[in-house]
Homo-oligomer: A and B are copies of this chain.
């Protein structure tokens, strides 16, 4: 990410990891779901209610994606009735800094674009 080599194709080497990260974390809902779970919404229904406008189909799909990327964990409790909980993984905590930077920048950007 440094500025040593003006031109060149290590340019690509910089792009690809960023794309990898965005593939996981961008999209219309993924971050919102993570934030919701982080705010202690564990049940499918709770998450669904916490995110305006999301549909159950989309939520189900996104949860699967996040699980595949090891960012959340799906736990089935064999109670009656069966209950299911989603929680963030330890690994997902590594996203903290990314999320904070995005949050901070997003707040500022809204001011920058709309404000002045």
**For A9, what are the chain B residues with a Cβ–Cβ distance below 8 Å?**
50
CB-CB under 8 A from A22, the residues of chain B are 25-26, 31, 102, 106
Interface residues on A, range: 35 or more
Distance (whole angstroms) from the CB of A96 to the closest CB of chain B: 8
Tell me, yes or no, whether A57 is within 8 Å of chain B by CB. Answer: no
Count identical subunits in the complex: 2
Binary per-residue interface labels of chain A (54-95) against chain B in the complex, 1 for a CB within 8 Å, 0 otherwise: 000000000000000110000000000000000000010011
Cβ-neighbour of A21 out of B16, B41, B97, B102 (below 8 A): B102
Question: Which residues of B sit under 8 angstroms from A97, Cβ to Cβ?
Answer: 101, 105
Assess whether A110 is interfacial by the CB under 8 Å rule.
yes
Q: Is the CB of B1 within 8 A of A100?
A: yes
Please give the residue numbers on chain A whose beta carbons come within 8 Å of chain B beta carbons, in ascending order: 1, 3, 5-9, 11-12, 14-22, 24-27, 31-32, 35-36, 38-41, 50-52, 69-70, 91, 94-110, 112-113
